[in-house]
Each structure stands twice: as C-alpha cells, then as structure tokens.
Amino acid sequence: MLAIQTNKHKIMMKRIFLFLFFIPFISKADIFDDVVNTFKTNNSDVVSKYLNANVEITLLETESLCSKAQAEQMLKKFFDKYPSKSISIKHRGASAQGAKYAIANYETSSGLKLRLYIFMKDNLILELKVERE
C-alpha cells in the first residue's frame, strides 16, 4: 500500500513540475497579439506606442515613409474612416535576424474586408500595410 502511494506521489510531482515548467511558454503572449489588440481599440494613440521613430506605412492608396507622429495622424484618419469590427491574425513568422511579421484579416464596421501586414523588429513596427482583400 505504501509503495502505491509513493508511486502516485512521484507521478503527481512530475505532473506538477511539468506544468510549472511549461506555464511560462504557454501564457506568454506574442507581441502581435498585443499589437492586434491595440488595433481593435481604433485608437491611434494606443497603436503608436508600437511604432518605430520612422515607419513605412501604406493605408490603402496612401503610402508614405514618415515619422511616428505623422504615422499616428494617418492612423487616426484611417480609424475614423474604417473602424474595426474584427481583426484576426492568419499568419506570423520571424527571421533569424530578429525581424517578425504578421498578416491579419481586418474587417471594418461597414463590412469591408482588408488585409493587414505588420513588420517589426525589436518589438517596434517598421512597416505597416493595409490593403483590400
């Protein structure tokens, strides 16, 4: 009887150890989850905290290499005209040099379907592109 309890105790301890070991990997959200959540707010001030000092930005037909402040103003106008209804990441990846990218579907409150491309390095957006699907 004591051997069975000791064996159950060992198994339980292994499970607890594995759970505690893997929990940081499971609970840590990807930076793109945070970025996409900021886009859901339709608030350019919130999104701008992820913008690099200079950003290459394309919002439908408007394309520009601009400062963070200029990009924030462009995003404000974009959110006013195309507020989000839903955004979902469809693909994400990373390079060996530390660059990350994500592609997301962006649906406006009027039902317009757009594609959002985000290119980041050091957790800052270097390039942001929105185009029609």
Give the pTM. 0.75
| pLDDT at residue 14, as a whole number | 62
- Phi then psi for 97, rounded to 5 degrees? -85, 0
Domains of the chain: 30-132 (3.10.450.50)
- Confidence grade of residue 68 (pLDDT, cut at 50, 70, 90): very high
Q: Percent of the chain having pLDDT more than 90? A: 58
Q: Single out the residue of 124, 132, 127 nearest to residue 34, CA to CA.
A: 124
- Compute CA distances 105 → 18, 42, 82, 86, whole Å: 35, 15, 13, 8
Containing 82, the helix (H) or strand (E) segment is: none
pLDDT, one tens digit per residue, over 102-115 is 999 999 999 999 99
pLDDT, one tens digit per residue, over 27-56 is 445 788 888 888 888 889 889 999 999 999
| pLDDT at residue 2, as a whole number | 45
